Amino acid sequence: MPLTLLLALVIGGIAGIALILHLTGKSAQTMLTTEDARAAWHRHFPDDLITEVLTARDAHAALIMTNQGPGLLWSFGADTVARHLLDFDLIDRPDGLRVAFHDFTAPHVTLHLTDAERRDWQTRMEPA
């Protein structure tokens, strides 16, 4: 089989799978309720004691207050990412907050928050 034909079949197959996943709704971002956020956090950090969960209005992020300090959970496609807020920069933006982690595995996330959420989360996330 010629290489060009094999390449076309592989590219077409991958594109077809991606299209089928998208059309069946498998590429939608996770929507977080308080219970979902709590469960997802415990999946990432099973030993943490959660004291409070604040979900964003758009349901794509949650601020988690734990016995280890505050943490952030956000949607990443159909999955979630969680980080303790230990070493980060907080950048105020008109549409929310940008959290720049000093961690190459999760360099930054932009949280789309309302004005009231932005002020509240900013206060809770800043180190004491």
Alpha helices (runs of H) in 24-114, residue ranges in sequence order: 34-44
Residue 107 to residue 47: CA distance in whole angstroms: 24
Distances (CA, A) of 110 to 12, 91, 98, 107: 33, 9, 4, 11
Domain that holds residue 13: 1-28
Q: What percent of the chain has pLDDT over 90?
A: 65
Q: Do 11 and 74 belong together in one domain?
A: no
Q: Do 83 and 23 belong together in one domain?
A: no
Q: Do 77 and 18 belong together in one domain?
A: no
Q: Do 21 and 38 belong together in one domain?
A: no
pLDDT in tens, 32-67: 999 999 999 999 999 999 999 999 999 999 999 999
User: Considering only CA atoms, which of 66, 71, 75 is closest in space to residue 111?
Assistant: 75
Q: How many domains does the chain contain in total?
A: 2
